[in-house]
Structure 1
């Protein structure tokens, strides 16, 4: 298994209008390149996000006891029905505090009252008057092109095409490919789903996935925006494939995500579990081109206190950078919400 090489090239200023507002949002943007070695399965994370579609204040709709409906209250906001759900979008809490970076998919948009409905309920401590951003989710077609402009190898069957393998909750993978004809027709298809068009299948911004490249070495270039601020991710029991949303890894202070500054372990229940041995701790698996290097947070004993690599004794590993594309967290306990940090750009 080969790890993907992803690099941010040429930061530039991007200005995006937020809905009908006159306010503009300037975000650090650029493009990233996904390098896909021939005949290899490559672990991919999309470390850029689409531009902001809305940034402003919100109120929780008290009448909705499920706490899934909010209204967007920034001056000049004007929504159309289904604006943020016909094409999949996600919303993120940007109010500073313990909930900053919480995110979920938007399932409904209503012009009346400028309201949106969320897939997940808001916790009770999120109140009216906070701030949010809304962005489109990546999809198969926006990343790889509606007609496979990215140049992945297509085929009349999945046996001859490159495969995009997205982990699912059943501990397996949903597998997609670009069909060039035959029984499944032309377009993005899912193995086992016949001729159903899968171009709009979302690729959630916090998640990693695999690409199996059957053809020659190739690369995919993706423009986007750097996501600022922390990001909350739900770490489920078992393997979690996480995209590294910090696209620049360097030794400059406050840039680059390392084990030590990642926020994965924070000494509380809102983080990974540490232990005096790797057998009892959650593991962080970082690809090295041939497999994975395994790390854990040691809370004492023979290996001391701090981030450690399995097999490297008490050597401090806190400055170890997380992979630029993505990495795996193996969670041994119950699911936990972790607030990952982000560098400054």
Structure 2
């Protein structure tokens, strides 16, 4: 029963992550889209490690690819349906404006990339989010799930200290590579692609989630209900710190190195891991309150809701799917 409770609380956290992204796309003043995305990726790594830690996984690249396809196939049809809707809207807008064939090559390119789930590999952030924009997440997930069997086998045979050190090194490399990308691309569409949508860059989020479960799974922990108030205070402090840190991250850096530190993944990984830990333990009143039936239900449908909520933008129209 306790393990089920922890899973339910993480579903509530998934709902909170989705709400942060939804509010951003709905142009609400306060939202947490970048943190929400990092929570999704970190939580995927954490839960997949939780589920498959004692199971056999496929060997070989082909088998791992098929494993990944099976993981995302329940969302693929919905992705195609929303993509078709987006294409029809693009064509309708073109017809209304008398230039239905304008941008035909770009539209065809985007359709092919979306069908093959390769849009996150294209080095242009405007292409990554073309048509059903949020589907870039599914494109990245396909890559990460393919890597997962290799990651988990290595984690199983490695010491906790080695796993943690590797996670830290990956995050540090993210910052250094962001700095190099800034020197090459400045803050253009290539840089945004590299540090946000590029699948290889997102290994940091996913691996960090896997590492967190490795740490928790090999650490003795005894819940003490008499310390509920203490846990609650810790949760409040953590939430306030995350809000303050998030606000600081949104402020533009005056130097490339500061901007690299504020890339849209590395610092958010730390906050995502804190939240996953707090909701996994679910010992304080704050996480217990947020792990309510409504949030759990929203968390259950968040993958589908995520794919259909996006606001499709053009220069002339805004249509909500």
Please confirm whether the aligned pair reaches a TM-score higher than 0.5, indicating the same fold.
no
Higher share of residues assigned helix:
2
What's the TM-score once normalised by structure 2's chain length?
0.25
Using structure 1 for the length normalisation, give the TM-score. Answer: 0.24
Richer in strand (by share)? 1
Which structure would you say has the larger RCO, counting Cα contacts within 8 Å and 6 or more residues apart?
2
